[in-house]
Amino acid sequence: MTSRGSPVGAPERFLTMLAAERGAAANTLAAYRRDLDAAADELGDLVMADGDALASLGEAWSAVSPATLARRCSALRQFYGFLVDEGLREDDPSPALPRARARRPLPRVLSRDEVERFLTQAEEEAAGDRPESVRLLALLELLYGSGLRASELVSLPVTAVPRDAPFLHVTGKGGQQRMVPVSTRARAVLSRWLAVRKGTSRHLFPSRGESGHLTRVRLFQLLRELAARAGLDPERVSPHVLRHAFATHLLEGGADLRVLQTLLGHADIATTQIYTHVESARLVALVNARHPLARRG
């Protein structure tokens, strides 16, 4: 291993670079920090660690899940690449890192019938225009109807709600801006929510004290409580499951993968391709029906 000493604060400099050059969000930076801290707990000085030390992490982290192992090793590869780029090391020991042998799990998805039961329950509860019930229906419509992340949804400002154009202005990961279509029914529910919403908070879904917004934890709780009332297994329901359902059901309906990437705010289409598992049967039928060789058979 060759190194130019052990510069103080190299992990902090790495995190600063992620924030400044890649626009990494606060949650992303916190995750990178935890992964680097986990490695430092095992190896001590990360800057001085050699290939043998990194290889030992496979045994040290044998109890963690394949996904956690893959994430930690990814953080370390980027960290050592940064050290080399900055001239803080002459070599990159990251090829010695252990590799997780696991396929990325397919996302949990609710069926269309289950989503319909979910929406029906929310609509029935909101029939009397009780503010809490109308708010929950609006949250559900935007999660399933627009595919928003939980963090994007709860932090929406009132100014994001469209007046004439059927789009929401959303700030996603890394501060990236995108426009998300809002269905006619979702716009109608949003209008109902704005009519019964109290206070002057700048947030579309304010917290009780109005100093902040509804938290992701509370959103999670509200959805699980609604799922139980709708006769669904609460353990199968979360904001991200509804985002998965949005993507999967759009693909089933014939949506283009690139369009879906834009709607979901994915930086890399490889992330969006996880949803193509729903397309296998439809694609086989398409080839059998349309390909010239099918007609020869």
Catalytic residue numbers? 149, 173, 240, 243, 266, 275
d(CA 101, CA 104): 10
Segment (H or E) for 171: strand 167-171
d(CA 130, CA 63): 48
* Cα-Cα-Cα-Cα dihedral sign, residues 14, 19, 21, 23: positive
d(CA 242, CA 152): 14
Q: What angle do CA 236, 261, 70 make, to 5 degrees?
A: 65
Pair type for strands 177-181 and 167-171 = antiparallel
Q: What angle do CA 158, 148, 105 make, to 5 degrees?
A: 160
